[in-house]
Amino acid sequence: MARIESKLARMGLQLPPPLSAPGGVALPFPWVNLRDGRAFVSGHGPQEPDGSLAGPFGKVGAEVSEAEAHLLARKTALSMLGSLRRELGDLDRIVAWNRVFGMVNAAPGFDRMPGVINGFSELIIALWGAEAGRHARSAVGMASLPFGIAVEIEAEVTLG
Amino acid sequence: MARIESKLARMGLQLPPPLSAPGGVALPFPWVNLRDGRAFVSGHGPQEPDGSLAGPFGKVGAEVSEAEAHLLARKTALSMLGSLRRELGDLDRIVAWNRVFGMVNAAPGFDRMPGVINGFSELIIALWGAEAGRHARSAVGMASLPFGIAVEIEAEVTLG
Amino acid sequence: MARIESKLARMGLQLPPPLSAPGGVALPFPWVNLRDGRAFVSGHGPQEPDGSLAGPFGKVGAEVSEAEAHLLARKTALSMLGSLRRELGDLDRIVAWNRVFGMVNAAPGFDRMPGVINGFSELIIALWGAEAGRHARSAVGMASLPFGIAVEIEAEVTLG
């Protein structure tokens, strides 16, 4: 059985189905773009188990607490892993994480983005380990994110 | 005749000349940086046919409507293609689009960035097709963009 | 003697020690991530010579002047070069700068991010020269940066 998916199962985690995007807007791009042995991963938001976008929605530091946002970053990791599994067939094909760009929908005065995006980084490292899971990272505050999601993350990985 | 440029001509589209940057600031970087078979593309804004930055300027959702911003994203694509043609000589050298990072100067409460950046993505896919034009994408809201432009986009492509 | 470090010494510049991060938050990621002959560089902020984060803190255009922010961008370059030297052993291993993403903690109405991030770009070009130091760049305004720093920059370089 696949190594990463075995770990997910032992942790009791399930990957969500494809995003049920809010109506009214086309999304003319793939969630994962395979090029030259790498996967460029589009900005993902947190998903509920039914595939819809996960809330709470709004600005971290106002409508969304830091602890809630940390959980949303973890759900964003699961959303991204769902997209990667559908595209790659097997998450074990990811041999190295290169770069993670973590974006937080930040209320005025909120500057604890690193603690929020740790919800993503901690899960990746738990699954891939310290060497393959190692990723360069920024964790910054945005003026706005699509559909009012509180966290969005894009990434790049190397395939084996 | 070059394939992509033929398509541009059939669509009645022209690529703008180099940016006439607003006075008073040096821009000590290239618009396109060729490295190891890839082109890293600096953040571009929309241009008028005379090479100046295109308005309307300001925040999308306030001074700039969503429809206007969609057109500005398309003009940003033409600006980027102008830079790429000057650097590469021939746009057909671009064999794959890897990543597009779409930034919108967002008014408080505006969260429809995907619809805006579609103005860029739709043109790239019309020109390169579904496979080569396929790109990972984020479309997010910034607190501010240089010179008050409403849209800025950076990208990475693979060269043949 | 190493070429880049000789230049730094001739310019009277010293690289800061590892960041003394503000207490209370884990940073579970490396400052530099080496993958496949490239270094992905995490978002860095400006450092003081003692390794702490450098101020002034807050928003450029309000608490922080444009001239102060330009100096903070230069200090961010030195912070990044310190991380790269620790990871690579020798800065001469960097044969090409690929991409620089410059983020400014922007007050409402401040849109002169290019002038700020020039503090970074000018030093890189002074050290590596016009060809190897050449980098694609965006310079944009964020709603918030970690710990209230005024400037944060991430990058990608090619190793020889």
Task: Give the tens place of pLDDT for each residue, B31-83.
Answer: 999 999 999 999 999 999 999 999 999 999 999 999 999 999 999 999 999 99
3-state secondary structure of C79: helix
Q: Which residues of A touch C27 (CB under 8 A)?
A: 114
Q: What is the pLDDT of residue C23?
A: 79
Instruction: Report yes or no: C104 at the B interface, CB cutoff 8 Å.
Output: yes
Look at residues B92, B98, B15, B11 and name the one whose alpha carbon lies nearest to residue B51: B15
Classify the complex by whether its ipTM is higher than 0.95, answering yes or no. yes
Mean pLDDT over all residues of chain B?
97
Q: Which residues of C touch B28 (CB under 8 A)?
A: 118, 121-122, 125
Question: Under an 8 A CB cutoff, do B139 and A43 touch?
Answer: yes
Q: What is the pLDDT of residue B22?
A: 84
Which residue is closest to C151 within chain A, CA to CA? A140
Q: What is the secondary structure of A92-151 as a DSSP string?
A: GGEEEEEEEEEEEEBPTT---HHHHHHHHHHHHHHHHHHHHT--EEEEEEESB-GGG-SE
Which residue is closest to B38 within chain C, CA to CA? C98
Q: How far is B40 from chain C (nearest CA, A)?
A: 6
Q: What is the pLDDT of residue C113?
A: 98
| Tens-binned pLDDT, residue by residue, of chain C (160 aa) | 699 999 999 999 999 999 988 877 899 999 999 999 999 999 999 999 999 999 999 999 999 999 999 999 999 999 999 999 999 999 999 999 999 999 999 999 999 999 999 999 999 999 999 999 999 999 999 999 999 999 999 999 999 9
pLDDT at A1 over 80: no
**pLDDT tens-digit profile of B82-100?**
999 999 999 999 999 999 9
Q: Which residues of B touch C98 (CB under 8 A)?
A: 33, 35, 40
**Across the interface, which of A30, A31, A145 has its CB nearest the CB of B140?**
A145
Scanning C11-70 for CB atoms below 8 A from A yields 25-33, 35-36, 40-43
Rounded CA separation B96/A148 (Å): 31
Q: Which residues of C touch B29 (CB under 8 A)?
A: 100, 121, 134-137
Among B38, B99, B158, most A C-beta atoms within 10 A, so best to mutate, is: B99
Question: Under an 8 A CB cutoff, do A36 and B158 touch?
Answer: yes
**Taking the model in full, what pTM does it have?**
0.98
Residue B12 CA from chain centroid, whole number: 18
Q: How far is A10 from chain B (nearest CA, A)?
A: 31
pLDDT at B1 over 70: no
Question: Under an 8 A CB cutoff, do C29 and A137 touch?
Answer: yes
Question: Domain C3-14+31-159, CATH 1.10.10.10 — does that match?
Answer: no
Q: What is the pLDDT of residue B24?
A: 79
CB B107, CB A3: distance < 8 Å: no
Look at residues A19, A30, A8, A40 and name the one whose alpha carbon lies nearest to residue A149: A19
Question: Under an 8 A CB cutoff, do A42 and B113 touch?
Answer: no
Q: Which residues of C touch A158 (CB under 8 A)?
A: 35-36
Scanning A112-151 for CB atoms below 8 A from B yields 142-148
Which of the 8 DSSP states describes residue A54?
P
Rounded CA separation C37/A46 (Å): 32
Token duo for residue B150 = 């409403």
Question: Under an 8 A CB cutoff, do B137 and A42 touch?
Answer: yes
**Across the interface, which of C30, C36, C145 has its CB nearest the CB of A111?**
C145
Q: What is the mean pLDDT of residues A56-62?
A: 98
Which residue is closest to C138 within chain B, CA to CA? B43
**Across the interface, which of B96, B114, B156 has its CB nearest the CB of A25?**
B114
Q: How far is B154 from chain C (nearest CA, A)?
A: 7
Write the CB contacts of A48 (distance below 8 Å, at least 6 apart in sequence).
Answer: A16, A54, A75
DSSP H/E element including A74:
helix A66-88
Protein fold of B3-13+31-159: 60s Ribosomal Protein L30; Chain: A; (3.30.1330)
Write the CB contacts of A76 (distance below 8 Å, at least 6 apart in sequence).
Answer: A44, A45, A46, A47, A119, A120, A151, A152, A153
Mean pLDDT over all residues of chain A?
97
Q: What is the pLDDT of residue C20?
A: 86
Rounded CA separation B146/B128 (Å): 29
Instruction: Report the percentage of chain A scoring pLDDT > 90.
Output: 96
Pick B15 or A24 by higher pLDDT.
Answer: B15
Look at residues C58, C59, C55 and name the one whose alpha carbon lies nearest to residue C108: C59
State the amino acid at position A10 in one-letter form: R
Question: Under an 8 A CB cutoff, do B29 and C134 touch?
Answer: yes
Phi and psi based region of residue C27 (left: phi greater than 0; alpha: psi -120 to 50; beta: remaining): beta
Q: What is the pLDDT of residue C17?
A: 97
The superfamily CATH assigns to domain A3-11+38-159 is RutC-like (3.30.1330.40)
Task: Give buried/exposed letters for A8-42 (b at 16+ CB in 10 A, else e).
Answer: beeeebebbeebeeeeebebbbbbbbbbeebbbbb
Strand partners, A105: A142
Q: CB contacts < 8 Å between B and C, how many?
A: 83
Among A19, A25, A27, A29, most B C-beta atoms within 10 A, so best to mutate, is: A29
CB A155, CB A101: distance < 8 Å: yes
